[in-house]
Structure 1
Amino acid sequence: MAEIRIRNTNERIAGDDNVLEFLNKHEVVYEKWDVSKLAPELSENFTLTDEQKQAVLDTFDAEIKDLSARRGYRTWDVITLSEATPDLEAKLAKFEEIHTHTEDEIRAIVSGNGIFIIKSPEHGYFDVELEPGDVISVPENTPHFFTLVDNRKIVAVRLFVETDGWVAHPFADSSFQKA
């Protein structure tokens, strides 16, 4: 289950009901997928081939189709990030800048861990620490960014309404302080 840390108070929110209640108040969609159905050779594999990425998509085909029917997604892919990713630093630099999107940003964490940092009018910025099985959707036009945890490994399914894929719009915020 995801856990939340409110950055300006360092308050932590844990437990399924508490996390879900907090995220719902911020219009952040949060769901769970059963990652135990992932084949052993795909689980905790952070250097997936194109064929293995397709196998991940095939494994979660019903979940992807369900989300797409409910939320209008038209395309999806799998992203893998780890020390083996040739351009990891460049990708992280792009992801770790505060930005918005004209559509929601949804990720289903298949392996590894990551953190969405989301801006709230009420709380300032809060971290949503994600683990395998967590599915999160940051609302459109909400300032946020994504980063990895210390082990720097993640595999996630990304879904998009726009067929251009991931398009970010920088959001300047002098009030933001890195943790």
Structure 2
Amino acid sequence: MAEIRIRNTEERIKGEENVQAFLKSQGVLYEHWNTAKLPAELKNKFELSDEEKTQILETFQDDIKNLAARRGYLTWDIISLSDATPNLDELLKKFENVHTHTEDEVRAITAGRGIFVIKGAEEVGYFDVELEAGDVISVSQDTPHFFTLMENRQIVAVRLFIETEGWIAHPYADEKFQSK
């Protein structure tokens, strides 16, 4: 279950209803998918073949199509990151810069853990959304944010897009942002 850390105050928000209510107040969609239906051999696997990626997409096909129909997403894929990912540190440096997109950034976590760092309302400032398997988040277009991995540096997620080319990051310079 997702947990939120508000950076300015170190306040933690826990529990699905509390997390969902806070994120909704910040314009962020949060849902939960049932990962129990994922085959056991894929629950903690972070190096995936194309066939295994297809199997994950097929497992969550109904959830994906439901979310896509409600939010206008047209295409989706799987991203899998771990220490086995070539040039992972360089990739993470690219991810770990505050930016915006002209469409929502969506992640449905099927294995592992990750963090979205999001700029909230002025009175909230930046907050971290710590995600784990089953968590689904959609950061609204034009919202400053970035995504990174947690300590274990392992994640598998379904990404959904409106634009078939995927997201294009637009750098967002913010003197108020502090990396930790």
TM-score, L = length of structure 1: 0.98
**2:70 aligned counterpart, secondary structure:** helix
Which moves more between the two structures, 150-159 or 89-98?
89-98
- Aligned-pair distance for 1:17? 1.6
Q: Deviations over 1:18-37 (max 9, x none)?
A: 11110110111000000010
CA distance in structure 2 between the partners assigned to 1:134 and 1:21 by the alignment? 15
Identity percentage of aligned residues: 63
**Residue aligning to 2:168:** 167
**Aligned positions, number:** 179
| One-letter identity of the residue aligned with 1:8 | N
Aligned position for 1:45: 45
1:110 corresponds to: 110
How large is the RMSD of aligned CA atoms in angstroms? 0.7
Tell me the distance in 2 between the aligned counterparts of 1:80 and 1:16. 25
State the SS of the aligned residue for 1:41. Answer: helix
Structure 1 residue 96 corresponds to structure 2 residue 96: yes
Query: Residue 14 of structure 1 aligns with which residue?
Result: 14
Structure 2 residue 133 is the aligned partner of structure 1 residue 132: yes
Query: Letter of the aligned partner of 2:125 in structure 1?
Result: G
Does the alignment pair 1:152 with 2:143? no
Q: How much does 1:129 deviate?
A: 0.4
Q: By how many angstroms is 1:166 displaced?
A: 2.4
* Residue of structure 2 equivalent to 1:33: 33
8 Å CA contact 2:103, 2:167 repeated in 1:
no
What is the alpha-carbon distance in structure 1 between the residues aligned to residue 3 and residue 130 of structure 2? 5
Instruction: For residue 87 of structure 1, report the CA deviation from its aligned partner.
Output: 1.9
Gaps of 5+ in 1: none
What is the distance in 1 between the residues matched to 2:17 and 2:159?
25
Q: What do residues 132-157 of structure 1 show as CA deviations (whole Å, max 9, x unaligned)? A: 00000001000000111111000000
Equivalent-residue separation in structure 2 for 1:93 and 1:117 (angstroms): 14
Instruction: Answer whether contact 2:74 2:163 (CA < 8 A) is retained.
Output: yes
Structure 1 outlier segments of 4+, above 6 Å: none
Q: Can you give the 5+ residue segments of structure 2 that lack an aligned partner in the other structure?
A: none
1:95 to partner: Cα distance: 0.9
SS of the residue corresponding to residue 110 of structure 2 reads strand
Deviations 1:95-140 (A, max 9, x none): 1110000001010000000000000122110000001000000010
Matches of 2:87 and 2:40, distance apart in 1: 27
